[in-house]
Amino acid sequence: MSTAWKRRAGLAAAGALLLGAAFLGGCGASPSDAAGEKVSVTMAPEALRQIVAADNEHGRTVMWQAETEEAASVEYREEGGGAIREAPAKSQRLAGTQGEPDRYIYEARLTDLEPGGAYEYRTRAGDRVSPWHPLSADDGGPFTALVFPDTQSQDYGVWESIAEAGKKQAPDAEFFINMGDLVDNGQDENQWQAWLGAAEGLFETIPAAPLMGNHEAYSLDWQTARPDRYLAQFALPENGDPSMPELFWSFDWGPVHFAVLNTQMAEISEWYPDLLSRQQAWLEQDLTGTDKPWKVVLMHKDPLQYRIASRPERKEGFSEEGEAFMPIFDRTGVDAVLSAHLHTYRDRGHIYDFRRDERGPLYILTGVAGDVRYPNLWTDHALDVTVAPQPETDNFMTMEADSHTLTFRAWLPDGTMLDEVTLTK
């Protein structure tokens, strides 16, 4: 297990349109000795965040934002001191909307970490540096992670309180997953700033794995839009289809391989008409190519279809996304599928060949972690095993994994456990 969150937090306390992109800084990571070097700890990067890499035993992405552009980098070293290495930062300008100013989004990809290494990092521009922040590499062993369902909100203070509840429940969480629909409108920069601010206490110290939801692909007038703003906010693993960079991807942590799908075929078909076919081909190859003991799929839209009480024409069954991907899950031995979108928590047990069967993956609909709720909207599905008490309030999940067990728990913000499921091998 990595070092506890409390140590991370203590160290931290001590210390639209893309308009252009350029590498600023050096040509690559380079070690140096900062002994005697005079720097000014006056750099205050906004929305400082860590993002998962494809290989988290050796990699991590660090991002932040500023209203000015300058040559910048991320410096990192082993926790407590030693030689400082430097990774250049890439910047891109993101046009402001909804009263927010234009900003420059910075990213630096670290690629030479040691498995299980305890590091600290800071941002740098000239002789100005930020305080040091903790960063822990995956050690390849057991871990705990947090899972947050849809956080879209009118008041992102709700998301902030759920993030705090998750941190309290799982202080040793090594990373967290957001299941898509992070914001209500993907082109509203004011909402992005509220979302980033609410998550600040999380991803300065542990990385995020943020999924795209359909709301990330809406314009300010609620038409569909290319998800440029989401893609600018998160520099994601680049191991999907190179013709569609960062739209779908995968990453490893400990004994688990995670495949992250993009279920927004309807919303972004104008820009990516073959998203489904390319994703299906990639997914089969990705899932068969891993040697990790566990395979978990993360997808925003749910593979099951629920009836709506006021719409008798909508039938119970499986969604278009489920029909497209579930046969691949069956063929490739996926162990669990986490989804979101419907703002309700449902454990559906194991499904194989579109029916109840222990040979298939465990399917969990993760719930809601924002203030947009759909009380009593969905009629129970025949495959539901556990349903959260209605009308629902917010929840989050924890995931614990080792080579032989995979445990999912759903929690209310006050620490009440809603559900617990353990898979064994």
pLDDT (tens digit per residue) in 330-346: 999 999 999 999 999 99
Give the chain's domains with CATH numbers: 5-136 (2.60.40.380), 143-420 (3.60.21.10)
Average pLDDT over residues 261-267: 98
Tokens of 181: 């629909």
pLDDT at res. 311: 82
Q: Are 237 and 166 in contact (CB under 8 A)?
A: no
Q: 262 or 35, which is more confident? A: 262
pLDDT at res. 31: 43
Q: Are 397 and 410 in contact (CB under 8 A)?
A: yes
pLDDT at res. 201: 86
* Alpha-helix runs per DSSP H in 215-296: 228-233, 275-289
Predicted confidence band at 17 (pLDDT cuts at 50, 70, 90)?
very low
pLDDT at res. 131: 97
Share of the chain above pLDDT 90, in %: 85
pLDDT (tens digit per residue) in 138-168: 999 999 999 999 999 999 999 999 999 999 9
- Would you give the distance in Å from CA 47 to the centre of its chain? 15
pLDDT at res. 394: 95
Question: How many beta carbons lie within 10 A of that of residue 286, not counting itself?
Answer: 21
Q: Given a cut of 90, is residue 282 above it in pLDDT?
A: yes
When the pLDDT of each residue in the chain is averaged and rounded to a whole number, the result is 92
pLDDT at res. 309: 80
pLDDT at res. 5: 41
Q: Are 225 and 217 in contact (CB under 8 A)?
A: yes
pLDDT at res. 36: 59
DSSP string for residues in 128-145:
EEPPPEEEE---SS-EEE
Predicted confidence band at 18 (pLDDT cuts at 50, 70, 90)?
very low
CB burial of residue 407 (10 Å; 0-12, 13-18, 19+): middle
Q: What is the largest CA-CA distance in the chain?
A: 73
Give the integer Cα–Cα distance in Å for 316 and 312. 10
pLDDT (tens digit per residue) in 201-260: 899 999 999 999 999 999 999 999 999 999 999 999 999 999 999 999 999 999 999 999
Q: Given a cut of 90, is residue 324 above it in pLDDT?
A: yes
Q: Given a cut of 70, is residue 76 above it in pLDDT?
A: yes
pLDDT at res. 37: 79
Average pLDDT over residues 292-296: 98
Q: Given a cut of 60, is residue 101 above it in pLDDT?
A: yes
Q: Given a cut of 50, is residue 3 above it in pLDDT?
A: no
Q: Are 269 and 247 in contact (CB under 8 A)?
A: no
pLDDT (tens digit per residue) in 163-207: 999 999 999 999 999 999 999 999 999 999 999 999 998 999 999
Residue 281: partners with Cβ closer than 8 Å, 6 or more residues away: none
Q: Given a cut of 50, is residue 7 above it in pLDDT?
A: no
pLDDT at res. 14: 39
pLDDT at res. 312: 80
pLDDT (tens digit per residue) in 369-420: 999 998 888 889 999 999 999 888 899 999 999 999 999 999 999 999 999 9
CB burial of residue 96 (10 Å; 0-12, 13-18, 19+): middle
Give the integer Cα–Cα distance in Å for 323 and 300. 15
pLDDT (tens digit per residue) in 384-398: 999 999 888 899 999
Q: Given a cut of 80, is residue 16 above it in pLDDT?
A: no
Q: Given a cut of 90, is residue 129 above it in pLDDT?
A: yes
Look up the pTM and report it.
0.92
pLDDT at res. 10: 43
What would the 3-class secondary structure string for 314-339 be?
Answer: CCCEECHHHHHHHHHHHHHCCCEEEE
